[in-house]
Amino acid sequence: MTDQLAKNYPELRPPLRTLLGPGPSDIHPRVLEAMAKPTVGHLDPYYLELMDRLQAMLRTLFQTGNAMTFAISATGSAGMEATVVNLIEPGDTMAVCINGVFGQRMADVATRAGAQVIRIEKTWGQVFTADDLAPALERKPKVVGIVMAETSTGAGQPIEEISRAVHDAGSLLLVDAVTALGGMPVCVDDWQIDAIYAGSQKCLSCPPGLAPVSFSEAAMEVIRTRKSSVQSWYLDTTMLSSYWGTERAYHHTAPINMTYGLYEAVRLILEEGLDACFDRHLQNHRALRRGLEALGIGYAPQTGYELPMLNAVWIPKEADDAWTRRELLRRYGIEIGGGLGDFRGRVWRIGLMGYASRMSNVLWLLAALEQLLAEQGVPIEPGSGIAAASRFE
């Protein structure tokens, strides 16, 4: 390699970061190691066997027996597109619950798929009740879409009550679980969710690039009896079912090494145990909350519905949003997220997702944040945040 080439295109040396933002999250070393294993063909017997095992683990994680449970070869946003475009035909009515960015995005995807979209809107950070959906459900939408864990607001949506109302109206329920899956219970069968999607990069602690999805038999029957072809060839579940099902018919070249990573990521969660994994996320969230409250920082979502893995908190009035996040990254190597949309400049989004949900990260962030807030004249008692978090039981 010439000196000029080395200068223009240097060796990859990404900085070491502690990823405590809204995603991606820190990657477990075993996942990175898995992704470095030898590549095989996408129809190799070893890979086909791996697909079977991954599907079985994803069913356990989604808590479902759905046959059509697999990973879309693309990011979580493609999971959203896949569920919408397979269920919606031009002219269908779809109701979408919007209380943040990703509800808005789902409505946009549905509109592009040709749906007549009924927008059910609430103030950012608030959650929906069955009563909120009642006027829309009177119009008998084919599909109702809702975000379980709204990444832009940190609000967690109770699904069971919504599901009962949706099914009483004869509609299908579509759920965004991108931030939820792997960090809190997601009970597809018990909650009668018809279509659900997630992403590999949040609580699964795998690099972005795969989107776990699951379709109920009722959803698959709707897809099989469509009058028109699915808008997207790549995301057409009727064809993907031939690849992920018993036929193993070629559809696309799957991302082999990403599949290795997701396999190991889900395996790590099952090794820990679902209940233990969910409890770890909840306990670290509670410790962080105690620490932030000691620094005078409160939570943005509706009280009682704060997510354990995504902490959306109000920025102190004396603090500079961009400067604080920049200095966290520059001095301490810590990434947190800023607010989006209605919360831009008003909220910080602190992720404790998957492998990053560790008490050491809670204390490291609180120490760094306390120093930066003190430099900006925010009235805090030195050491109060760490002390409060450490005393948490």
Tokens of 67: 């046959």
Domain with CATH 3.40.640.10 in the chain: 29-270
Average of pLDDT values for 80-105? 98
Tokens of 201: 């990069």
pLDDT at 223: 97
Closest CA to 221 of 206, 246, 238: 238
pLDDT at 271: 98
* Mean residue pLDDT across the chain: 96
pLDDT at 177: 98
- Pairing verdict, β 143-147 and 93-98: parallel
From residue 270, how far is each of 46, 122, 199, 211, 262 by CA, in Å? 22, 36, 17, 18, 12
pLDDT at 246: 85
Average of pLDDT values for 311-332? 98
Domain with CATH 3.90.1150.10 in the chain: 273-390
Contact 144, 275 (CB under 8 A): no
Cα distance between residue 135 and residue 113, in whole Å: 23
Average of pLDDT values for 234-258? 93
Average of pLDDT values for 123-138? 98
Average of pLDDT values for 104-119? 98
pLDDT at 84: 98
Q: Which residues have a Cβ under 8 Å from the Cβ of 9 and sit 6 or more positions away? A: none
Range name among 20-34, 105-119, 232-246 with the lowest pLDDT average = 232-246
Is the predicted pLDDT of residue 393 greater than 80, yes or no?
no
CATH superfamily, domain at 273-390: Aspartate Aminotransferase, domain 1 (3.90.1150.10)
The confidence band for 6, taking pLDDT boundaries of 50, 70 and 90, is confident
Average of pLDDT values for 243-251? 89
For residue 387, which amino acid is it? Answer: A
pLDDT at 392: 65
pLDDT at 1: 60
| Range 29-270 has CATH code 3.30.450.20 | no
The confidence band for 2, taking pLDDT boundaries of 50, 70 and 90, is confident
The confidence band for 5, taking pLDDT boundaries of 50, 70 and 90, is confident
Is the predicted pLDDT of residue 4 greater than 90, yes or no?
no
pLDDT in tens, 162-196: 999 999 999 999 999 999 999 999 999 999 999 99
pLDDT at 247: 87
Contact 310, 338 (CB under 8 A): no
pLDDT at 72: 98
Residue 156's φ and ψ, nearest 5 degrees, are -100, 130
Is the predicted pLDDT of residue 369 greater than 80, yes or no?
yes
